[in-house]
Structure 1
């Protein structure tokens, strides 16, 4: 079948694969295997590249296959073997997948391009739709799964964007779901704001390295937490059910920063 943005996924899917890599702020992804029945239901798969972590996850019914490693600057070498591993363990091949979910950004140009390039190759080769997912929202979901966060807490994922800026977004956890409060943004640390400053906040990600410049007193913070591919799946299924799967030629990475500015920064780093 030809991928279509109007198709929808049914829950639970037969299986989903999520691949995520986070080298220096790169972009993750996820995949879902095709069911024997016509669409729906299908399942998504996702490749992810966006920090110093690289991971891949596959969900078959209620069972997950998961790979995760820390590897600076090796994501190009690791992502595809990880995809092969989780598919092999699940007894699936790429053509059986329903979709590819990927973290579209924000993050570094290099990282986003690596992740998106992998997804493009896989999606074009297997004729699969794709599901773009926010890197920051993925990190927020990882925090909900791994940290003791109470209902009513605001979760603030924040990544170091270099050039004296941070990527950040604000979410509210109600004890069951994570709801977006603000769009993903790129600002100086001083401009990270929350309209709910009197409520408890948990700040996550290496953007908290600018803590002395951020006008917010969090109840808790974890600057070492990295996003994981299994959390891409959670978001991807929701987006697919909302009809947000699309063909790979319609998908766009999310940079938030002008590419010319980024190239100037690279030249300055080489000079210094």
Structure 2
């Protein structure tokens, strides 16, 4: 088993930008709403945490990050920064799911102590959502489905008698989803502190990877993203006619 002491984690998959540093017995972090500001904020946040802790990049044991799904631009920015840090510090990495991270963020921030089903979901635009289903027993989170991309009305949850918590901005499609959650937390965003929660046990069990073995998780293919970009660029400007 790998003894983890120093791990740096980042998340840039939504409109939030966050960084967390674990030194074994303590965790320090930065979290900021940063729509379209990830490029400007991310590296200074990393440098601030390392400087405050008196830790050099090369002294870290590993890097952890959310590889997706989520914002296409945010994923690319986060992955590019992790690539640079991993190569610059000769460090192994561990990618985690942004939806699983959000589920852990909900359990921590909402103080969920009872058993629940959790449905983290992001608005994926183009009339679709990224979503996954987990079960929380008050201590551990168990994945019940893979990360998915689909129209909101096609979400199908595994059968369970447990109450449901829905987390994330994908819930603004609530009228199209035949679900009745006990907890609704549409404003919650994933936090890098919870990337550490997922990553550290996996790193200790030897799940580390080289950066060239890792790819971002977009779920939506490149053709669909290009189609969305063309539609956005061809959209008429209000007041100028068609």
Question: TM-score range with shorter-chain normalisation?
Answer: over 0.9
1:139 aligns with 2:73: no
For the 8 Å contact 1:151–1:174, the answer to whether it is kept is yes
Query: C-alpha offsets along residues 13-36 of structure 1, whole Å, 9 cap, x if unaligned?
Result: 322xxxxxxxxxxxxxxxx2xxxx
Task: Identify the residue that residue 62 of structure 2 maps to in structure 1.
Answer: 99
1:254 aligns with 2:217: yes
Structure 1: give runs of 5+ residues left out of the alignment: 1-7, 16-31, 33-44
Cα root mean square deviation, aligned: 1.2
Displacement after TM superposition at 1:235 (Å): 0.6
Task: Identify the residue that residue 5 of structure 2 maps to in structure 1.
Answer: 14
Normalised to the residue count of structure 1, the TM-score between the two structures is: 0.84
Normalised to the residue count of structure 2, the TM-score between the two structures is: 0.94
How far apart in 2 are the matches of 1:233 and 1:61? 11
Task: Identify the residue that residue 144 of structure 2 maps to in structure 1.
Answer: 181
For the 8 Å contact 1:9–1:237, the answer to whether it is kept is no
Bigger helix share: 2
Does the residue aligned with 1:232 lie in a helix, a strand or coil? helix
How far apart in 2 are the matches of 1:72 and 1:256? 21
Query: C-alpha offsets along residues 153-202 of structure 1, whole Å, 9 cap, x if unaligned?
Result: 00110000000000001000011111111110001001111122543100
For the 8 Å contact 1:47–1:118, the answer to whether it is kept is no
Does the residue aligned with 1:82 lie in a helix, a strand or coil? helix
For the 8 Å contact 1:65–1:89, the answer to whether it is kept is no
Q: How does 1:152-231 map to 2 (within 5 A)?
A: 152-196=115-159, 198-231=161-194
Structure 2: give runs of 5+ residues left out of the alignment: 236-242
Task: Identify the residue that residue 57 of structure 1 maps to in structure 2.
Answer: 20
Task: Identify the residue that residue 68 of structure 1 maps to in structure 2.
Answer: 31
For the 8 Å contact 1:193–1:215, the answer to whether it is kept is no
Displacement after TM superposition at 1:48 (Å): 1.8
How far apart in 2 are the matches of 1:179 and 1:198? 16
What is the aligned counterpart of 2:44 among 61, 81, 86? 81
Displacement after TM superposition at 1:71 (Å): 1.7
Displacement after TM superposition at 1:46 (Å): 1.8
